[in-house]
Amino acid sequence: MELASHVDRYHFSLGWAYGLKAVGTSDAKQQLALFEHSYNELKRAKGINPLDPDIMATLGHVYWNWGGLTSDLVHRAKRWEIALSYYQEAATLSPQIHGRGLKDDVIRTQFHLENAYAAPGKLNRAAAAYQKVVGMAPDDRMSHRNLAIVYQQLGLIEEAIIEARAARELAPAEERAELDALIAQLEMQKP
């Protein structure tokens, strides 16, 4: 890099290496420093080549890992939101390759954001996050189930019943009894 600091791939590779090393260490201070080094190198690479979808996807992966290693739910959610934005940017820059390849990463990140937002006081954000996942992966029964529960907590009983029924239709036989109980509970709460 000292000889050719203008080459984005060198910064990209170093940033990725720092990110991998951060995941492999258990020392919190060292982990934070490594994630910051990773981010800085990847941002340098992005500054040199702002249209490279690999850089955007890697920034997403770094933020995904960084968020997953913190115990603070607020910081975790913020980092996952940043990861999601980088994944979406990579998919926009390269819809045929990265768009398909990152679909699972986007859904996984959105799903984890749902759970982070399900904490008290964030139910509207949780509902919005679950709605996005249901839109991206309509066959994900857990998202339908979780959306039903959030709707129930928000007092949106009719919407909750619709989502619970959708979850039941997608559920394997061993999970249907639990969903039947949820639907029955919701039916009793109808005005």
What does the pLDDT average to over 20-39? 90
Q: Report pLDDT for 120.
A: 52
At 30, is the pLDDT very low, low, confident or very high (cuts 50, 70, 90)? very high
Confidence at residue 142, expressed as pLDDT on a 0 to 100 scale: 82
Q: What was the pLDDT predicted at 98?
A: 67
* pLDDT score of 161 more than 70: yes
Cβ 48 vs Cβ 8: under 8 Å: yes
Checking if the pLDDT of 116 tops 80, the result is no
Its sign, for the CA torsion 171, 173, 174, 180, is: positive
List Cβ<8 Å contacts ≥24 apart for 136-141: 136/103, 136/106, 136/107, 136/110, 137/107, 139/170, 140/107, 140/111, 140/170, 141/166, 141/167, 141/170, 141/171, 141/175
pLDDT digit string, tens, across residues 88-109: 788 777 777 666 666 667 666 7
pLDDT at 20 over 80: yes
Cβ atoms within 10 Å of 173's Cβ, excluding its own? 6
What is the mean predicted confidence (pLDDT) over 131-159? 85
Return the axis-axis angle of helices 103-117 and 53-68, rounded to nearest 10°: 30
Within 8 A by CB and 6+ apart from 150, the residues are 118, 123, 126, 127, 130
